[in-house]
Amino acid sequence: MIEILKAMAARIDKEKDFLTELDNEIADGDHGINMAKGFNAVVPKIEAMAGKDIGSLLKTTGMTLVSTVGGSAGPLYGTAFMKAGAALKDKMEIDANDLIAAVDAAIGGIQMRGKAVEGEKTMLDAICPAHKAFKAAIEAGEDVKAALGKAVEAAQAGVEYTKTIKATKGRASYIGDRSIGHQDPGATSATYMYEEFLANI
């Protein structure tokens, strides 16, 4: 999990300019910069946690994001990681069912904190379809890696979907119909995390 989280951090840092460019088009232009700052603060903390349980790693990640990421992304991603961490408390290994429970908890945290649902041009438009695809693949008897592959495809499709809809939540909602045609930066950063999870398990 430490290596997965570090890979996520590296990807966010690599894509920070693109994420900021996306955010600049529909919001206040700081998503990539803020996310990179937060994840760069996460890395030394989790590197010092070798041997700790997975729940503690995710909780620390979430707490660090809340305290270092500005705008809405810090509370939303921070809450998601903290809720996932609580679902995996004391676990040194996780299986598909644990992963489902963790993402269920993360989505619940995002919905609680952001008062958003799928279809409002937010990170949920990548995370929710990805999670549904993962669960369906596991229920169909596929292994975790294959199921994560389906999740990544669904998240990528979710990002494309955000280009077609109007933002009704967050800063992007202020520009109304002018948000149509632009992809959501939160859905994009969430998809990067799914891609790195798949690439590093």
DSSP code string of 52-82: S-HHHHHHHHHHHHHHH--TTHHHHHHHHHH
Contact 147, 131 (CB under 8 A): no
* pLDDT tens by residue, 148-191: 999 999 999 999 999 999 988 777 777 878 789 999 999 999 99
Rounded mean pLDDT, 102-122: 96
Give the torsion through C-alpha atoms of 109, 35, 98, 134, to 10 deg: 90
Contact 131, 107 (CB under 8 A): yes
* pLDDT tens by residue, 116-142: 999 999 999 999 999 999 999 999 999
Please tell me the number of Cα atoms within 13 Å of 60 on its side-chain side.
19
Provide the token pair at 94.
Answer: 């996780």
Q: Return mean pLDDT, the chain.
A: 95
- Share of residues in the chain with pLDDT > 90 (%): 89
In terms of Cα–Cα distance, which of 153, 123, 102, 109 is closest to 31?
123
In terms of Cα–Cα distance, which of 157, 201, 185 is closest to 77?
185
| b/e burial code for range 28-59 (CB count within 10 A of at least 16 → b) | bbbbbbbbbbbbbbbbeebeeeeeebbbbbbb
Please, what are the domains in the chain? 2-199 (1.25.40.340)
Q: Name the DSSP class of 181.
A: T
